Amino acid sequence: MAKSQTEVPLYNGDIPNSKKIEDREYTEKADNGRTRVHDISRPTLTIFEAPKEKSNGTAVVICPGGGYSVVAIGHEGFDVARQFNDMGVTAFVLKYRLPRDSTMEDKTIGPLQDAERAMQYVRENAKKWNLNKKKIGLMGFSAGGHLASTEATHFEKPVIENKKKTSLRPDFLILVYPVISFSDSLMHQGSRDNLLGKNPSPEKIKLYSNELQVTKNTPPTFLVHAKDDGGVKYQNSVLFYEALTKNKVKSEIYLFDKGGHGFGLDNPASEVKWMDMAHQWLQSIGMLGKKK
């Protein structure tokens, strides 16, 4: 039996790197019926606890996409969390701050702070939901994939306070049509402009081109992309996969021939259910075993 969801503030007290401004957040349904959240300056986690009879102690933090301009919290967040619950995985949907000069001192690190804090929060409170601290993963779609891949490649240099020295490294990573590279040839212009500004330095472009930041400590990764993606070129996923392979990190990639961008759980151009493949992959790397 599914449990009700709880939304909690990501930070206790002051939000780091935040200007004191009026909360202007609002939610709308787009023409395609999908729910999007705008103007987020107060980040939260919505907790989808796995049913007790199914729970295996594994957890995932989900970063929906939206070009760093909105958060597509429905089809790339809540819908996905429910599928994880069916697998016995407790899911946390991250409503992260959108990078704006008007709401934060340094917008380039704002979303990353929230992703790191989400990992910290879930790991430090793991007992509360009967979770295994060594089975907490991270997932991202589109620009949320950029955020997730940034957290998974930059965790050794935290941008949040971490007094308990809690590990910020995800134990696994799932990236769906992710923005990975900010290079001129592969970038998604809107995501890069929103995060880094219109004229970022070569150093910043390199720092946030996550295919260049992969090491042997990057978590095992499962990637999904469509070759006809007109929003984010599929080579973003391919380059990240190649970097993982080069560093001998367990990884798997599935490329649809068609499907475009932003399809969420169900690619209308294919009968293949990529979430079933992700499920099998998680089992193959030992992430869905019994609680320990």
- Please name the CATH architecture into which domain 6-284 falls: 3-Layer(aba) Sandwich (3.40)
260 phi-psi bin (left φ>0, alpha ψ -120 to 50, beta other) = left
- Written in H, E and C, the secondary structure of the chain is CCCCCEEEECCCCCCCCECCCCCCCEEEECCCCCEEEECCCCCEEEEECCCCCCCCCCEEEEECCCCCCEECCHHHHHHHHHHHHHCCCEEEEEECCCCCCCCECCCCCHHHHHHHHHHHHHHHCHHHHCCCCCCEEEEEECHHHHHHHHHHHHCCCCCCCCCCCCCCCCCCEEEECCCCCCCCCCCCHHHHHHHHCCCCCHHHHHHCCHHHCCCCCCCCEEEEEECCCCCCCCHHHHHHHHHHHHCCCCEEEEEECCCCCCCCCCCCCCCCCHHHHHHHHHHHCCCCCCCC
Tokens for 284? Answer: 């193959």
Structure confidence at residue 176 as a pLDDT band (50, 70, 90): very high
Closest CA to 173 of 260, 236, 244: 244
- Identify residue 209 by its one-letter amino acid code: S
Q: Specify the pLDDT at position 3.
A: 61
Neighbours of 264 (CB within 10 A): 19
- For 101-123, what is each residue's pLDDT tens digit? 999 999 999 999 999 999 999 99
- Give Dmax over CA atoms of the chain in angstroms: 52
- For 236-288, what is each residue's pLDDT tens digit? 999 999 999 999 999 999 999 999 999 999 999 999 999 999 999 999 999 99
Closest CA to 71 of 48, 95, 47: 95
User: Which residue has 């949907």 as its token pair?
Assistant: 93
Rounded Cα gap, residues 131 and 58, in angstroms: 6
Rounded mean pLDDT, 61-86: 97
Rounded mean pLDDT, 70-90: 97
Rounded Cα gap, residues 188 and 75, in angstroms: 20
Structure confidence at residue 143 as a pLDDT band (50, 70, 90): very high
On whether the CB atoms of residues 73 and 37 are closer than 8 A, the answer is: yes
For the whole prediction, is pTM greater than 0.95? yes
Neighbours of 249 (CB within 10 A): 18
Q: Specify the pLDDT at position 290.
A: 60
136 phi-psi bin (left φ>0, alpha ψ -120 to 50, beta other) = beta
Rounded Cα gap, residues 219 and 265, in angstroms: 22
- For 9-47, what is each residue's pLDDT tens digit? 999 999 999 998 899 999 999 888 899 999 999 999 999
Rounded mean pLDDT, 58-68: 98
Would you say residue 1 has pLDDT above 60? no
On whether the CB atoms of residues 94 and 110 are closer than 8 A, the answer is: no
Q: Where are the domains of the chain?
A: 6-284
The pLDDT mean for the chain works out to 96
* Alpha carbon of residue 110 to chain centroid: 14
Neighbours of 64 (CB within 10 A): 31
